[in-house]
Amino acid sequence: MDFVAIDVETANSARASICQIGVARYADGVLTDEWVSYIDPEGEFGIWQVRVHGIQALTVAGSPIYSDVVDKLYTFLDDSIVVSHSPFDQQAITKSAVRYGVRPPRAKWVDSIVVAKRTWPEHANRGYKLNQLCDQLDYEFEHHDALEDAKAAGHIAISAVKYSGNSLSKWVGGSRA
């Protein structure tokens, strides 16, 4: 089971305001590589977002902008199955690509919320937040750190594949239905 898990944190309500990206690569279900970077969103930080993740302008001072890291990021994403916990991360990556005039990654996206809802019926209507699922799976992580959240989404995907016997490719582009 080869895939990449990703998470982003944003500076404000605009999806293209990425201020941190975390990526974890898995080969045969084993973590083999990871990358994390603060990103200068070139914009203001919202009070609510700072409360959630603790990242603020001072944290990202001197960090690269999105277009500066896109080559590194796409070495992970291009031609990969990419797991994220909700469509938010895919939307943020796509909107950032548009904002900075770069192509979007060539990736097959899997929403780990959809995977969890279809794997564990008790989570079909509620209880599918990242921290709730990880609590159920006894996986400890530092919530709202992009790399930690990416690895948590990866763990959910691996657990769901093992539990259900389905492959990740079954869930590529899956809807929330």
Q: Domain holding 131: CATH number?
A: 3.30.420.10
Please say if the pLDDT value at position 64 is more than 70.
Answer: yes
Please say if the pLDDT value at position 111 is more than 60.
Answer: yes
Give domain status of residue 18, yes or no. yes
Mean pLDDT over 101-130 rounds to 93
Q: Which domain holds residue 7?
A: 3-171
Confidence of residue 177 (pLDDT cuts 50, 70, 90): very low
Please say if the pLDDT value at position 176 is more than 70.
Answer: no
Neighbours of 79 (CB within 10 A): 9
The two tokens of residue 35 are 């990358």
- State how many domains the chain has: 1
Contact call for residues 12 and 44 (beta carbons, < 8 A): yes
Alpha carbon distance 60, 50 (integer Å): 12
| CA contacts within 13 A on the Cβ side of 17 | 16
Give domain status of residue 176, yes or no. no
Please tell me what DSSP assigns to residue 173.
T
Q: Model-level pTM? A: 0.94
Give domain status of residue 53, yes or no. yes
